[in-house]
Structure 1
């Protein structure tokens, strides 16, 4: 008996040679199978559970290129906008920094006619109504996170919609449903690996795009979370599409056999399990309730998923591995480079010939600590920056971000004069002292406060490490009028700008002629947090002409009263401020372009955002900057 031609095909035969027979009736295939001398997989099904059989690779590469080009075009567009903003701000700074406040009328009103409505409806608009950074709380310990802004939502929707569209551009006319499953498997797997590249880039705090595009790490963190969800969803589709074919071909026993014995399938399965667990643990209530545990588990699972994806791509029957293999190598390099950058920054900042970083921790009223880091080398710090801190005596494996409130540089005399006639001795900057206010909440911050409180009346010292500084990309030097609004420990972010802007006004390096600092606190006891720094600011040259301070006390221990300083520039008021009324008053007295900045609880930030949006029709330039870190 002659052997049917179908049985003589070798495993290396192409999909094109198999396809003509895939539409044969099932009884023809069964007859041929019965004629064989040994059992074999169904040729209508088997080719489509492995390799690139049935995969539309040209379309996969086409959609990959489109996705890359779209992300690149978006980045380039943001870069152009960023360059335009910098040029406009530089022009405003150069032309206004020598003018008095009332002489900056041109920049007070100068902007494109469509800009106010764009700010109100898109740039500063929350996704829905007023809520943006105010957490959606389920209970005292759990919440669902925050809502993206309208502009962020447009970017996210574009990315999600494009991935969905690419997923369903398939050959729906194919008669063999297993061939269709193979095409879905190839498309979803390709798109998943494509999503992993920006997913890893956006996760890094040393991401160079943060400074280049002037997009906050908070925004990148939001994109990272959503791209991770897309990536896991596509991996699940990839797995289901493969399993449908494999079960039809060899049953669940065949699936089990391949998962346990086939390196290509087993590595993909382990990677899938790691990614699904990672996504479940990243669910907002779980993430917020057990953040420290989540963070370390997240890193381990992400590393497992990346390595397994690389093994999966490399182990394919295709010669040289799947086409996505170089992408996964790039992902591993990016992840490793970012981690290496953290180690380098950590080592450079905290170790020098002068020793290691030491921290002084003082317990403060209102359950907070004032932390002063004594760095052994000079570190350049700009207003609005933050750093990640570690303490040797309090969970040294954890690090958390805190805004830099104050800094001073240590100057060392180098010795002899340069020439005989010179009496000025040369000096150099050799160290930096950086201060923070850390409120006690739970976990790490609570443990730090408890350690400091255990020694009442005295500060404690411990070995520590600072990683950073990061951010600080928002310059307010070109604005004639700056309003800084802080809630509780948010004062740390704003006070760094106060000193910088007063210095800039005195040395004619900033256009700022009016700074209004609004601080909302529960009780006057917490004023002790910033006492030494505020004492310095109040003694600065021309401070009374530039700075206005308004302190709102929401829960005073004594009877609520108002108070005004002798200079009339520092005011203490009971209750919560009406942000809209407060900003309206500032606009009535506006000098040049105005910038409103807020740092504090999500509810306060949303109130300020809403008030700034309502002021866009006032006919003056009012910009908005929000400092936040949603996790």
Structure 2
């Protein structure tokens, strides 16, 4: 589906394999076969995932994220076995069939295949289309963000796809029954997590804030600030009502990183700085982190994800 205001294609892919285990930090190569322009492959970070379930009954109905049967993964642990998801997901479904996994990618259309994908969507009155997509992956690994007390996430545009799975992973690991349902996985140590997201299309902010980010907004340990860089577009005021700070212009990364480093040091806590954005943003964040460490703030881990595939 193509959102013209956000200028983003939301691609939802239902993998054929029930053994696929999506995790934060992973990316896939996407292929669309049977195109006249030939065989193209494009790597994209998986931004989120959900599970399509059968009808619910009883107390397990609270696990539903949407009325259409889509399960909000921030509400349940992701436990897999050879036959699909185990634990509370098995208990949630009133059928014996495995829930169907759906991977979500946010794609900015530029040229080549991404532009053609937008064109395919625009030919439909609903700006949505069905297409066969082949997956190769997953590639990449998960950084143990849950081992740090303070987290600062700095992303630009569709770089939000890198941040959302880690935020959702934090929600899972902070659940009260996480240890009993997932004894092999560590409980989160995160006490404070801040998201800084800059981009041109405010509509993209709204879509993700009211969608994949909504379970995190309003939580005591989570804060989000959105920076609208489009001078002709006023930031959406309605996002402030759900716990997002909306600002115009670009974030001052040096002051933000220094403040978070100072807060973490005063609290005797470790700090992880996660960055996924354009080259200029990453360069500025890297330099600011280096400056902060030279000022004596040593308990900092800098993690940067490529944005230029």
Q: Shorter-chain-normalised TM-score: which range?
A: 0.7 to 0.9
Q: 1:372 to 1:364 in 2, by over 3 A?
A: farther
Q: Distance in 2 between matches of 1:561 and 1:452?
A: 26
Aligned to 1:450: 119
Secondary structure of the 1:451 match is helix
1:533-552 Cα shifts (integer Å, max 9, x gaps): 123443xxxx5212100000
- Give the superposition deviation at 1:430: 4.7
Alignment counterpart, residue 545 of structure 1, candidates 207, 220, 223: 220
Normalized against structure 1, the TM-score is what?
Answer: 0.38
Aligned to 2:23: 382
Secondary structure of the 1:494 match is helix
Secondary structure of the 2:250 match is coil
Contact 1:523/1:557 (8 A) holds in 2: no
Q: Distance in 2 between matches of 1:402 and 1:364?
A: 20
Contact 1:364/1:370 (8 A) holds in 2: no
Q: Distance in 2 between matches of 1:362 and 1:630?
A: 22
1:493 aligns with 2:162: yes
Contact 1:437/1:529 (8 A) holds in 2: no
Contact 2:200/2:230 (8 A) holds in 1: yes
Q: Distance in 2 between matches of 1:459 and 1:425?
A: 31
Secondary structure of the 2:132 match is strand
CA RMSD of aligned residues (A): 2.8
- Give the superposition deviation at 1:456: 4.0
Unmatched runs of 5 consecutive residues or more in structure 1: 1-360, 415-421
Counterparts of residues 595-610 of structure 1 (less than 5 Å): 595-610=272-287
Unmatched runs of 5 consecutive residues or more in structure 2: 56-82, 84-90, 180-186
Alignment counterpart, residue 583 of structure 1, candidates 254, 257, 267: 257
Greater helix proportion: 1
The structure, 1 or 2, with the larger RCO (C-alpha pairs under 8 Å, 6+ apart) is: 2
1:363-384 Cα shifts (integer Å, max 9, x gaps): 4424320000012332101101
Normalized against structure 2, the TM-score is what?
Answer: 0.74
1:406 aligns with 2:78: no
Counterparts of residues 185-224 of structure 1 (less than 5 Å): none
1:151-179 Cα shifts (integer Å, max 9, x gaps): xxxxxxxxxxxxxxxxxxxxxxxxxxxxx
Greater strand proportion: 2
Secondary structure of the 1:381 match is coil
Contact 1:563/1:573 (8 A) holds in 2: no
Q: 1:529 to 1:369 in 2, by over 3 A?
A: farther
- Give the superposition deviation at 1:624: 0.4
Q: Distance in 2 between matches of 1:545 and 1:458?
A: 37
1:512 aligns with 2:178: no
Aligned to 2:58: none
Q: Distance in 1 between matches of 2:235 and 2:161?
A: 25
Q: 1:425 to 1:363 in 2, by over 3 A?
A: closer
Secondary structure of the 1:598 match is strand
How many residues in Structure 1 have an aligned counterpart in Structure 2? 258
